[in-house]
Amino acid sequence: MLDTLNRPATAPATPGEPLAGPPAALNAANHWVPHNIVMRDTWFPLAHATSVGNKPVRRAVYSHSYFLWREHGKAVASEFHPGETPGIASALTGGTGRFPVIEHYGYVWGWFGNPAAADPIHLPSLPFLPPNTSLPSHMIGTVRFDCSAPISLENLIDLTHADFLHANIVGDEQSESENVEVFFDTETITMVRTCTGKSVAPVMKFFSGIRQPTQNIRQVIRIYLRSHAAIAYGRFSPGDDVPLFHPCVPETRDRTRLDYAMNTSHAGFMFRHIMPKASYLVSRQDSSMTSPQSPRYMRDTKRRDLHSRFDTAGQRYRLLMQDLVARQAIGDFAYRDNVSADCSDIIGLRKELFRF
């Protein structure tokens, strides 16, 4: 099984004539097929901890089954349903049938890759989630996307889409000023967008009691590349913080599971209860864009996947993912940057609101 995963993606990114002229990096960014991205040696947030009890539940990563349940209260992850005769265990479990598993931030995380390399140090930093307990049920939920996980994340990190697609929830495109910055290392990419005098988010107009017409916002998207997991953290002033954990687990190469968690404990009653559930509405709006997009990568076309200078974050995301894939293809699975280091300062977390 690992042999198959180790193989580099050989399918041409977009069938047709090769591009001549543009820099190699841009060529690679334009010619990628998100379905060919398979990441190894990483933790995936497979389930909310509260969803895992004594009865097994099934999850999947790249079509590999993960059965989750608890033994004496401790979460386990197996390749096989405990009630069935086990098959031959794969290299993903070192022949034991059991995946490395860890419970943290209210999630059960399963390791995908070489089990000997599993280490809590590779768990993404999520500083707005309580490390050892679960959020109440109204702050968590599950949605699915009929698209490849990198498409969902690429859509997310281009935050300007929200002004158009989610205008009825987070506000329209009108603002006095807008600035976008992008930071990255070999394992993460972070996009920070600041706007002044932006139309107030309707959800805050109605549920946080914001009366003035505009607000200043600071929105951060931080993606942990290997885990396909993102932080979406918005600070609205006046207004409430919106700290969302947005994992995109690749159940298959073209289907994504999002067990989200939004910690609104600091906010007033209405916003605290309603905002996390707005994810169901928001995700349908996203899905209306990304689900038709996904199968287009399978079609034979000479059309190029073009971009503009406003797509810096998305382009960088593609290049970083391709760098990781290229390294893994030659057997290099080492982490060059630490994903578990506290990212509070990077995302500009208002720490006083999230003390655990």
Distances (CA, A) of 11 to 1, 15, 21, 35, 173: 19, 9, 22, 10, 38
> Is the separation of the CB atoms in 348 and 122 below 8 Å?
no
Cβ at position 141, least distance to Fe ion in Å? 15
Of 216 and 285, nearer to Fe ion (C-beta) is: 285
In the complex, least distance from residue 290 CB atom to Fe ion, rounded to whole angstroms: 9
Distance in angstroms (rounded) separating the CA atoms of residues 53 and 68: 8
| Residue number with the smallest Cβ distance to Fe ion | 286
Q: How far is the CB of 152 from Fe ion (least distance, A)?
A: 9
Q: What is the distance between the alpha carbons of residues 347 and 351, in angstroms, rounded to a whole number?
A: 11
Q: Which residues bind Fe ion (CB under 5 A)?
A: 286
Kindly tell me which of 259 and 286 has the beta carbon lying closer to Fe ion. 286
Least separation, in Å, of the C-beta of 159 and Fe ion? 8
Rounded Cα gap, residues 141 and 144, in angstroms:
10
Q: In whole angstroms, how close is the CB of 264 to Fe ion at the nearest point?
A: 18
Give the HSE-up count for residue 295: Cα atoms under 13 Å, Cβ half-sphere.
Answer: 4
Q: Which is nearer to Fe ion, 92 or 151 (CB)?
A: 151
Residue whose CB is less far from Fe ion, 101 or 157: 157
**Which residue lies nearer to Fe ion by CB, 93 or 287?**
287
- Provide the minimum distance between the beta carbon of 116 and Fe ion in the complex, in angstroms, as a whole number: 38
Residue 23's Cβ-count burial label (10 Å; 0-12, 13-18, 19+) is exposed
Q: How far is the CB of 162 from Fe ion (least distance, A)?
A: 5
CB crowding 162-191: b at 16 or more within 10 Å, else e: bbebbbebbbbeebeeeebebebebbbbbb
Please, which residue, 254 or 286, has the CB nearer to Fe ion? 286
Running DSSP on this structure, what letter comes out for residue 327? H
DSSP 233-282: EEEEESS-EEEEEEE-EEEETTEEEEEEEE--TTS-HHHHHHTTTHHHHH
Task: Determine if the peptide bond prior to 238 is cis (ω within 30°).
Answer: yes
- Identify which of residues 232 and 349 has a Cβ nearer to Fe ion in the complex: 232
On the CB side of 238, CA atoms within 13 Å amount to 8
